[in-house]
Amino acid sequence: MRLLITNDDGINAQGLRALVERAAKCPGVEVTVVAPDRERSATGHAISIHQPIDLREVGFDGIPARVFASSGTPADCVKLAIEAVMEERPDFLISGINRGPNLGTDVFYSGTVSAALEGALLGVKAMAISLTAFENLDYAAAADFAIEQALVAAFDTSWPVLVNVNVPAVPRESIAGVAITRLGVQTYEDAIKRREDPRGRCWYWLSGVLVENEEIDDTDTCAVRRNLVSLTPLRMDLTDTRGIQALARRSFRWPPDEA
């Protein structure tokens, strides 16, 4: 089995290392890693089309895997891996393990999820996996779960092409089980901080504080609050079918009236 691993936290992230170490222990699994050479969180599905991308083989000491660091985005890394680095297409792609959750509407900003989506767009089954905290993290259980599922999903024709996984950041024995979910809503109270440098030029720092939302039983946000691992199948078609019906009842003209 050929397994491709990437992330958006960067090549030195502990979550990536834990995942690669776990994958490399599996007999018959060829592991290739292509990950950003720096932190690339919240870059979404950006790709680099106006500058060249650096790619260098770095390796992980003592781990039998091909490991590359790239100056590109998470989506760039997946493109490079599938179309330039790997001689044969991967059987499965895992993006993660992310430091912090990717729940609900987070997926529209997430470099972790977008890297998995890029794999799906290129015809490779993919999983994005995140641990739902930022401090005192133990990635072992999430790594075990990701690899266990990948070994099955790679050759299971019924497995969805793209799955977003969030693992509660609690001890392994405290996890209550696994829930199949839909996306919930993550709402943030945005804070934009204005600063000036010594020359008087202003710059802005974007941040946000999570606002607690009402729990809805079948969502990923609700599942992780109940210490359940959430599995959310995602699809690439964002079409609003109800919106099509609503627009079809309207009359549109072309050309429009000139001002």
Domains annotated for the chain, with CATH where assigned, are 2-184+215-237 (3.40.1210.10)
Q: Which residues contact 117 (CB under 8 A, 6 or more apart)?
A: 45, 75, 126, 162, 234, 236
Please list the pLDDT of the chain residue by residue as tens digits (259 residues): 999 999 999 999 999 999 999 999 999 999 999 999 999 999 999 999 999 999 999 989 889 999 999 999 999 999 999 999 999 999 999 999 999 999 999 999 999 999 999 999 999 999 999 999 999 889 999 999 999 999 999 999 999 999 999 999 999 999 999 999 999 988 877 778 889 989 989 989 887 777 776 678 899 999 999 999 999 999 999 999 999 999 999 999 898 888 7
Sign of the alpha-carbon torsion through 43, 121, 145, 175: positive
Instruction: Identify the CA nearest to 151 among candidates 222, 86, 94.
Output: 94
Q: Which residues contact 45 (CB under 8 A, 6 or more apart)?
A: 75, 114, 117, 118
* Rounded Cα–Cα distance for residues 220 and 183 (Å): 6
DSSP state of 197: -
